[in-house]
């Protein structure tokens, strides 16, 4: 995201939990979403606030709430204290179904804070995000190397390349079109009718050079696997019970009717080449054979 913003000529002030190396065009603000003074320093004098920070894996609902919901409210409070109006908030498709998971509930709560803020806001609901620096998709690529992929029950899913999402956020930060204010947008790679779990598994297989056999598991088995993963990998588990609950939902496709205006943004990265480039980047880092 930083690289895209800087390449587009934006000056960036960014919140960080730990000291960072100096970077041209970036002013680092050391702090957290709990530190109101640093949040106000972060947003002071800015044209637009991009609220990207969020927690996707947490031990309980309270932890999700503290980061995703209360943290968003704190950013809004800092903006109001400094008289800043424009907010681009990154939400999640999971916010559509808050009853399925603590994560989705916390993202829906964050949306509620944004919608009631009185700011000039735009909310973006990304689907699953892939790209060379993404750790979530990595395990799917690694599994594909074995010639099979364990999947949730049958369903549809949208995805988007991280660079396309970054381009959208920069576009939303720069656009003077007030028609994008007070809007919630759902975005994807532009694939008509999204992907089925099986077609996406086969596409990832092609990216790693294998003919993959997709195996859809019953929801009960997915949730059992989540408990096992938590027992074995503890806080490093990728498939948690909370995530298993929304992974088993049959439709995580972005709705075409909620796409951003084409005059502002359209996806540029074709998914099959994007998956292949991601596999190559993983391979160069030693993550794939």
Set out the domains of the chain in order of their start, with CATH numbers.
1-125 (3.40.50.720), 130-159+190-253+269-289 (3.90.25)
- pLDDT tens digits along 122-175: 999 999 999 999 988 999 999 999 999 999 998 999 999 999 999 999 999 988
Helix (H) or strand (E) holding 28: strand 26-30
Q: Which of 173, 189, 178 is nearest to 2 (CA)?
A: 173
93 pLDDT more than 80: yes
Asked whether residue 212 carries a pLDDT value surpassing 90, the answer given is yes
Q: Alpha-carbon distance 161 to 275, whole Å?
A: 9
| Predicted confidence (pLDDT) per residue in 108-126, tens digit | 999 999 999 999 999 999 9
Residue whose entry in the numeric block shows the structure tokens 């041209």: 24
Residue among 195, 203, 199 nearest 279 (CA): 203
Question: How confident is the model over 229-257, as a mean pLDDT?
Answer: 83
The Cα-based distances of 60 to 34, 57, 101, 140, 243 in angstroms read 18, 9, 10, 25, 12
What percent of the chain is predicted at pLDDT more than 90?
Answer: 81
β-strands 12-16, 26-30 pairing: parallel
> Tell me: the pLDDT tens digits for 41-56?
999 999 999 999 999 8
CB 187 within 8 A of CB 126: yes
Distance separating alpha carbons of residues 53 and 65, to the nearest angstrom = 13
pLDDT band, residue 13 (cuts 50/70/90): very high
Confidence at residue 166, expressed as pLDDT on a 0 to 100 scale: 97
Sign of the C-alpha dihedral computed for residues 144, 148, 151 and 155 taken in this order: positive
Mean pLDDT estimate for the chain: 94
Rounded to the nearest 10 degrees, what angle do helices 197-208 and 271-284 cross at?
A: 50
Residues of the chain with pLDDT > 70, as a percent, come to 98
Q: How far apart are CA 247 and CA 126, in angstroms?
A: 15
In a 3-state reduction of DSSP, which class is residue 4? helix
Roughly how many angstroms between the first and final C-alpha of the chain, as a whole number?
Answer: 28
- pLDDT value at residue 226: 75
Sign of the CA dihedral running 267, 268, 270, 276: negative
Q: What are phi and psi of 195, to 5 degrees?
A: -115, 145
């Amino acid at each position: 995201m930083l690289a895209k913003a800087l390449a587009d000529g934006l000056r960036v002030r960014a919140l960080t939990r730990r000291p960072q190396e100096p970077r041209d065009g970036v002013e680092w603000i050391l702090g957290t979403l709990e530190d109101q003074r640093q949040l106000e320093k972060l947003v002071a004098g800015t044209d637009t606030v991009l609220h990207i920070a969020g927690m996707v894996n947490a031990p309980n609902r309270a932890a999700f709430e503290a980061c995703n919901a209360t943290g968003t409210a704190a950013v809004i409070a800092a903006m109001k204290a400094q008289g800043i109006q424009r907010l681009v908030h990154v939400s999640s498709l999971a916010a559509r179904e808050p009853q399925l998971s603590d994560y989705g509930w916390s993202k829906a709560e964050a949306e509620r804070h944004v919608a009631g803020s009185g700011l000039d806001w735009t909310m973006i609901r990304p689907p699953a995000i892939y790209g060379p620096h993404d750790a979530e998709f990595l395990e799917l690529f690694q599994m594909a190397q074995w010639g099979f992929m364990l999947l949730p029950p049958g369903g549809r899913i949208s995805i988007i390349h991280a660079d396309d999402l970054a381009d959208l956020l920069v576009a939303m930060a720069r656009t003077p079109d007030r028609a994008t204010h007070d809007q919630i947008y759902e975005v994807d790679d532009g694939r008509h009718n999204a992907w089925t779990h099986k077609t996406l598994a086969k596409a990832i297989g092609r990216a790693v050079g294998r003919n993959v056999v997709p195996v859809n598991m019953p929801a009960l088995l997915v949730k059992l696997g989540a408990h096992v993963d938590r027992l074995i990998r503890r806080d490093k588990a990728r498939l948690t019970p909370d995530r298993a609950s929304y992974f088993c939902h049959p439709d995580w496709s972005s709705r075409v009717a909620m796409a951003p205006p084409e005059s502002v943004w359209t996806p540029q990265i074709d998914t099959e080449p994007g998956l292949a480039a991601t596999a190559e980047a993983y391979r160069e880092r030693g993550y794939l054979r």
